[in-house]
Amino acid sequence: MKKIIVFGSTGSVGQNALKVIGKNKGKFKVTGLCTNKNIKVLLSQIKEFSPSYVCVRDQAQADKIGKSLEKRIRLFKGEKGLEEFAALESDISLMAISGISCLKPLLINIKYAKRIALANKESIVAAGSLVFKEAKKFHTEILPIDSEINALFQLINISKNGKCMNGNFRKVYLTASGGALVDYTKKELANVGIKQVLAHPTWKMGKRITVDSATLVNKAFEVIETHYFFGIPFKDIGITIHKESAVHALVEFKDNTLLACIYPPDMRKPISFALHYPQRFNSGKRLDFSNSFSYSFSPINYDKYPLIEIVLGAAKRKDNGLVVLNACDEVAIDYFLGQRIKFTDIYKAMAHIYSKYPRHKVKNINDVFFWDNWARIKTKDYLNRL
């Protein structure tokens, strides 16, 4: 039985992960569950999985839940509690805390987990080098849960190990559904509301990533993940719009043959892969060849999606640019979801911060949080003046 700790168990990925684990209870034992403040869902998860350790990051909510827990369960409270919780040992840690606040527990947990199934993008975007340096140091395996990166992991593992592959690939492609606004013109974007932006056609996800899918910032982040996970130069990572979200990634070999990784969109698939690897177990739907269907591919309109170039521009600088853009993006999305700014003001904020930030190297986690905080203040200043 593999001991699993789920960080961010009440979020979209966390809940899906527990569904996968719930179907394989003979194989996995959930030893720890951690949420920010969604106590209601947490309590039902505790009932089903009987973990020994529970963490509630929000101090007030933690105090509330304390009384209702059985005595055998150890409760970790608040930020300090989360740091101690992250130092528990596990066979697999499923890391699905959202936003940059995942970075600290991740860096701690790398020392104590054998494998980390990583759903959080922001920690790789803001601190990819740091994370993988630590993982190498502590021989911790990091497996991506993000569907496109997970698909690439499958395809690239194949090409390294397969007899006929020799690692001879020349380029990789990530697919992008294009998000909820794929069929809108650039002009129409100025007036879209929250409902329209959150109506993602193929994936049900958290709110921030759904907005990031509509701006394609999410895809730029995945390019960065691809760079850090597999050491692939930015120039060899392509993006293609694929509305159906069934082809998740492709690799192109030297002889111009491509391999594609395909399945009907379902977050439980990459989660199940990352938990069972190197085995495979039945999960999600089969592709149904008894029906007619078609898959479309089209190039990205960079004029409509200017944030890709901004984010990747920052990525290539290898400075604090990604830290500040990630923070700016999160703040701007919060403002948009709070109906304080227009959708296209997210674009403006990002362009503004990108043009203004003082360039510095990011040497450690303190630098990350310094520049993250700096960008949050500057972004708020800017958006409040709009």
Q: Which of 41, 73, 198, 259 binds a copy of itself (CB under 8 A)?
A: 259
41 binds a copy of itself (CB under 8 A): no
Size of the site for a copy of itself (CB under 8 A): 57
The angle subtended at Cα 310 by Cα 355 and Cα 222, nearest 5°, is 145
23 binds a copy of itself (CB under 8 A): no
295 binds a copy of itself (CB under 8 A): yes
**Least distance between a copy of itself and beta carbon 139 (Å):** 17
Nearer to a copy of itself, 152 or 314 (CB): 152
Q: Are strands 237-241 and 2-7 parallel, antiparallel or unpaired?
A: unpaired
Name the residue with tokens 């403040």.
Answer: 37
The span of 76-84, 210-218, 228-236, 246-254 binding a copy of itself (CB under 8 A) equals: 246-254
Which letter does DSSP use for residue 338 in this model?
A: T
347 binds a copy of itself (CB under 8 A): no
Q: Is 159 helix (H, G, I), strand (E, B) or coil?
A: helix
284 binds a copy of itself (CB under 8 A): yes
**Least distance between a copy of itself and beta carbon 257 (Å):** 5
Which letter does DSSP use for residue 76 in this model?
A: E
Q: Strands of 74-77's sheet, edge to edge?
A: 74-77, 53-56, 28-35, 2-7, 90-95, 113-118, 141-144
296 binds a copy of itself (CB under 8 A): yes
The span of 8-16, 104-112, 265-273, 306-314 binding a copy of itself (CB under 8 A) equals: 265-273
Q: Which of 17, 126, 145, 155 binds a copy of itself (CB under 8 A)?
A: 155
Q: Which pair of tokens denotes residue 261?
A: 């990784």
Of 296, 268, 256, 270, which is closest to residue 176 (Cα–Cα)? 296
Q: Which of 208, 219, 269, 304 binds a copy of itself (CB under 8 A)?
A: 269
256 binds a copy of itself (CB under 8 A): yes
The angle subtended at Cα 121 by Cα 120 and Cα 125, nearest 5°, is 140
Nearer to a copy of itself, 114 or 360 (CB): 114
185 binds a copy of itself (CB under 8 A): no
Q: Which of 78, 201, 206, 238 binds a copy of itself (CB under 8 A)?
A: 238
**Least distance between a copy of itself and beta carbon 144 (Å):** 13
Name the residue with tokens 């190498």.
Answer: 136
27 binds a copy of itself (CB under 8 A): no
Q: Which pair of tokens denotes residue 351?
A: 């362009």
Of 229, 181, 221, 175, which is closest to residue 201 (Cα–Cα)? 181
The residues near 50 (Cβ < 8 Å, ≥ 6 apart) are 30
Q: Which of 279, 339, 355, 366 binds a copy of itself (CB under 8 A)?
A: 279
The span of 52-60, 70-78, 212-220, 247-255 binding a copy of itself (CB under 8 A) equals: 247-255
The residues near 27 (Cβ < 8 Å, ≥ 6 apart) are 1, 2, 276
Of 368, 374, 379, which is closest to residue 334 (Cα–Cα)? 379
230 binds a copy of itself (CB under 8 A): no
Residues that bind a copy of itself (CB under 8 A): 153-155, 157-166, 168, 173, 238, 240, 247, 250, 252-263, 269, 272-273, 276-287, 289-299
